[in-house]
């Protein structure tokens, strides 16, 4: 036993080990759902015991052993229950030794788990919850807290997700080469969604949510460690770091949103920017640029401007041109209109927005009104800008965003000339 470790270091270690231990237990018993429950129990036991009694010599083996014991207890009580119910003797399942315990397989366990948890049969919210628990090692209570739902609801969501995976009959292995690209796309999307949930560091109950960004970065690093040469994994990790680097500057003391142009850039996390840029450079050297890499490149251009007015907008516009060609996403077109306005003037940007009014996916979206308001303000048409800020405010489903938009409208109203009396 080593000296008593600090609670936080135990927590980090447990979360690091969680997917490895789970992989080992699944390999031994071939039951994802039950193994996942058993590992959670082992993690809870360790979180109670280790800070008091010190770390065991081999923490990973300790966890695997405790989880395996919990698993066999569970199987015994299940088969006892079945025997009682059916009055038929059912042989206890044979606990075969792990059939393929080579190092390479163990190394891939985290990756296999992420592919399983981000199974295409799951809804995004189920995949998010399961990934955070099975791969991230978060407790159900922590996940429930982050999403502000009761713990029992989150437990139910996770349990249903595991049932769906069981029903899909997916074996515990990496997707085949043929499926790989599509499955990886789903994984990266789930990680991106987790990151966005924690995007703003705010006060009150939202404080926990920023930990979701940290968690998303940790998971993206794990995927990157398993697939070091994949350019989109690199791109997503870079995008997260380059965006997260601005976190402290993004909100004011009362949790109010601070737009990019008004952020105190000395608060940006320079080492995080540097790491993001390095990863992005590596990604771009690996050939065809994907959507995450391009978004990361745009974030990097913003991060590298010492002042808002130094932003290289022509470069950002060129990147948005590439992104637009890659996907038919109206949000990309909308963001491109901002870059276009910054290069060619607000009137040119506003003209592009008129086309977006006809896009049904966007016509009633608050972002379209917010961008129009911003460009109208730049064009000097404050009355129209106020109207569109307020339309955007009435359509957003984010409270900090609503507050930001109505404050923008109020600020402009105060700058209007007083009506002639």
Question: Cβ(319)–Cβ(298) under 8 Å?
Answer: yes
Three-state secondary-structure class, residue 244: helix
As measured in angstroms, the least distance from the Cβ of 283 to other proteins is 22
> Closer CB to other proteins, residue 106 or residue 387?
387
Residue placing its CB nearer to other proteins in the complex, 58 or 123: 123
Least separation in angstroms between residue 301's CB and other proteins is 13
Instruction: Considering the complex, state which of residue 20 and residue 369 has its C-beta at the smaller distance from other proteins.
Output: 369
- Check if the beta carbon of residue 52 is closer than 8 Å to that of residue 19: no
List the one residue out of 131, 93, 106 whose CA is nearest residue 20.
106
Distance set, CA 170 to CA 53, 120, 131, 230, 266 (Å):
39, 11, 16, 24, 49
Three-state SS string across 5-56, please? CCHHHHHHHHHHHHHHHHHHHHHHHCCHHHHHHHHHHHHHHHHHHHHHHCCC
Question: Which value, to the nearest 10 degrees, does the dihedral of the CA atoms of residues 32, 33, 35, 39 take?
Answer: 120
Interacting residues of 364 by C-beta distance below 8 A, sequence separation 6+: 395
Task: Name the residue nearer to other proteins (CB basis): 163 or 327.
Answer: 163
- The nearer residue to other proteins, 112 or 370, going by C-beta atoms, is 370
Shortest separation between residue 378's beta carbon and other proteins, angstroms: 10
**Least Å distance between CB 260 and other proteins?**
5
Backbone angles phi, psi at 276, to 5 degrees: -60, -45
User: Hey, what are 360's tokens?
Assistant: 């049904």
| CA angle, 347 then 352 then 354, to 5° | 100
Q: How many residues does the chain have?
A: 421
Cβ at position 197, least distance to other proteins in Å? 5
Q: C-beta of 349: minimal distance to other proteins in Å?
A: 11
What's the closest the beta carbon of residue 150 comes to other proteins, in angstroms?
7
- Residue 257 or residue 322: which is nearer to other proteins going by CB? 257
Burial class (CB in 10 A: 0-12, 13-18, 19+), 372: buried
Least distance from other proteins to the Cβ atom of residue 168, Å: 18
Chain positions contacting other proteins, by CB under 8 A: 123-126, 147-150, 152-154, 156-157, 160, 196-200, 209, 243, 246, 250, 257, 259-261, 338, 367, 370, 374, 396-402, 404
- Helical residues (DSSP H) of 169-246, grouped into ranges: 177-197, 210-226, 231-244
Q: Judged by CB, which is closer to other proteins: 198, or 235?
A: 198
Q: Minimum distance from CB of 299 to other proteins (Å)?
A: 10
The token pair that represents 168 in the structure block: 């899909």
Residue placing its CB nearer to other proteins in the complex, 25 or 339? 339
Q: How many CA atoms lie within 13 A of 277 on its CB side?
A: 12
Residue 153 or 168: the one with the smaller Cβ distance to other proteins is 153
With tokens 């569109």, the residue in question is 388
């Amino acid at each position: 036993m080593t000296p008593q470790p600090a609670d936080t270091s135990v927590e980090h270690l447990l979360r690091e080990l969680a997917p490895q231990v789970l992989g080992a237990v699944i390999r031994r018993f071939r039951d994802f759902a039950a193994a996942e429950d058993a590992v959670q129990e082992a993690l809870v036991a360790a979180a109670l015991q280790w800070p008091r009694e010190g770390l065991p010599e081999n923490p990973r083996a300790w966890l695997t052993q405790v989880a395996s014991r919990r698993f066999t207890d569970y199987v015994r009580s299940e088969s006892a229950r079945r025997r009682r119910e059916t009055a038929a003797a059912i042989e206890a399942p044979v606990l075969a030794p792990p059939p393929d315990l080579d190092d390479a397989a163990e190394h891939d366990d985290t990756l296999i788990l992420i592919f399983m948890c981000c199974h295409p049969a799951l809804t995004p919210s189920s995949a998010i919850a399961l990934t955070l628990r099975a791969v991230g090692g978060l407790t159900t209570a922590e996940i429930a807290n982050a999403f502000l739902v009761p713990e029992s609801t989150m437990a139910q969501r996770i349990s249903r997700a595991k049932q769906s995976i069981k029903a899909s009959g997916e074996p515990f292995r990496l997707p085949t080469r043929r499926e790989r690209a599509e499955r990886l796309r789903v994984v990266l999307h789930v990680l991106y969604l987790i990151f966005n949930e924690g995007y703003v560091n705010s006060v009150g109950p939202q404080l926990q949510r920023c930990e979701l960004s940290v968690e998303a970065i940790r998971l993206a690093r794990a995927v990157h460690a398993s697939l070091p040469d994949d350019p989109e994994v690199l791109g997503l990790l870079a995008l997260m770091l380059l965006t997260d680097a601005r976190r402290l500057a993004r909100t004011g003391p009362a949790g109010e949103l601070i737009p990019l142009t008004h952020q105190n850039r000395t608060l940006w996390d320079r080492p995080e920017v540097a790491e993001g840029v390095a990863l992005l450079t590596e990604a771009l050297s690996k050939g065809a640029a994907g959507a995450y890499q391009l978004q990361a490149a745009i974030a990097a251009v913003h991060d590298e401007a010492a002042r808002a007015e130094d932003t290289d907008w022509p470069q950002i516009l060129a990147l948005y041109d590439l992104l637009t060609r890659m996907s038919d996403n109206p949000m990309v077109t909308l963001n491109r209109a901002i870059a276009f306005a910054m290069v060619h003037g607000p009137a040119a940007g506003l003209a592009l927005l008129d086309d977006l009014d006809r896009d049904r996916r966007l016509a009633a979206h608050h972002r379209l009104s917010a961008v129009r308001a911003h460009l109208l303000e730049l064009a000097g048409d404050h009355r129209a800008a106020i109207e569109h800020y307020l339309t955007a405010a009435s359509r957003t489903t984010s409270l900090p965003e609503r507050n930001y938009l109505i404050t923008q409208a109020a600020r402009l109203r105060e700058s209007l000339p007083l009506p002639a009396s």
